[in-house]
Structure 1
């Protein structure tokens, strides 16, 4: 080590740097990434948390987005969506691309995408749009809106076929949305892109649906027989997201 370096300060900065690179990590993961012992990492994290440089949610540590707010952070309704831990946990656990979509002015806007190696947001996809009537994200939000709002929104968007499997007839789409609401999840089985499948469940804030979380992959990754299993994982992630959001907004 250089004679002018301060060892303790350097370790703290290394922790901040690894959290910047990999977003949210447990104490054990930080130890392994930096080859530091448990006592040193615990003391560093404790100090950084006390000084509000780092937040801890459940067992995961992440940078405080109110301090480390830059062009890579995407805020919406006082929520910094790329900082929420639950989607990263889901993406790493299932090793499938994970999406967060939010309803904005009759459109589903992507607020986070986590794809392999499931450490950082895929920033190029953030703030892109996904079709309300064909994507799992859009359909599950439409299905859980109040009926009048749903009808107004359907009247304001153009239903057009993206593939041969797209629901673009109101007479077929509305009963389809009723089924989605009853089962609590939506599936986009090649309705938006051929060869791709997506499963989504709603996200609520104050008991109001504001968006959805989804798993997206090839039809080989997400097969019909595995949908129910993925739905259970998505529902768990949605509950965790709600708890995180409630914590941040209180």
Structure 2
């Protein structure tokens, strides 16, 4: 080691750096990433948490987004979506691409996409748009809006056809949205892209739907028989997201 280096400080900075790269890790995962012993990692994390550089949610540690803040891409309504833990846990658990979409005006805007190896956001996809009437993200949000807001959005969009399965008739889409609201989730069954399925559930903040979380993959990866199982895991992730958001905004 260089004679001018301070080893303790260096270890602390290495922990901050690995959390910046991986976004959320357990104590054990940090130990493995940095080849450090449990006592050292625990003491470092305890100190960083006390100084507010790191926050702990459940067993996962992450950078405090109010200190490590990117003003350009990743903040929306005081929420840094790429820092939230739940989508990474879901993506790693299921090994399926995970999306977060947020309603902005009358559009669904992507705020995080986590693809294999499920560690980093796909930064190129952030702030792209997804169709309200064909994507699972858009449909599940539409279904859970107030009737007034739903009509406002439907009157402002065109029901463009992307595949032979896309809803292009308001007379069919509106009853479909009613079914989605009743069941609590939406499925994009190759309505936007052939060979691709997507399942989404809403995200609530202060009992208001603001967006959705979704799993997206090929028809081989997402089987029709597994939809109920995926929905249960998405609902759990959505509930955790709501808890995280309330924690960060408190």
CA distance in 2, matches of 1:159, 1:2: 64
8 A contact 1:114–1:121 mirrored in 2: yes
CA distance in 2, matches of 1:70, 1:249: 17
Secondary structure in structure 2 of the residue aligned to 1:164: coil
CA distance in 2, matches of 1:31, 1:217: 32
Secondary structure in structure 1 of the residue aligned to 2:201: strand
Deviations along 1:125-144, whole A, 9 cap, x unmatched? Answer: 00000000000000000000
8 A contact 2:163–2:193 mirrored in 1: yes
CA distance in 2, matches of 1:158, 1:105: 15
Aligned to 1:180: 180
CA distance in 2, matches of 1:80, 1:237: 16
Alignment of 1:144-183 (within 5 A): 144-183=144-183
Higher mean alpha-carbon deviation, 72-81 vs 222-231, is at 72-81
TM-score (structure 2 length as normaliser) = 0.98
Aligned residue pairs, count: 250
CA distance in 2, matches of 1:61, 1:248: 13
8 A contact 1:137–1:214 mirrored in 2: yes
CA distance in 2, matches of 1:210, 1:249: 15
Aligned to 1:243: 243
Aligned to 1:60: 60
8 A contact 1:72–1:123 mirrored in 2: no
CA distance in 1, matches of 2:221, 2:141: 24
* Alpha-carbon RMSD: 1.0
For structure 2, the residue ranges without an aligned partner over 5 or more in a row are none
Q: What stretches of structure 1 move > 6 A for 4+ residues in a row?
A: none
Higher mean alpha-carbon deviation, 137-146 vs 152-161, is at 152-161
For structure 1, the residue ranges without an aligned partner over 5 or more in a row are none
CA distance in 1, matches of 2:100, 2:72: 16
Deviation at 1:4, TM superposition (A): 1.9
Deviation at 1:70, TM superposition (A): 2.8
Aligned to 2:200: 200
Aligned to 1:34: 34
8 A contact 2:102–2:212 mirrored in 1: yes
Higher mean alpha-carbon deviation, 100-109 vs 57-66, is at 57-66
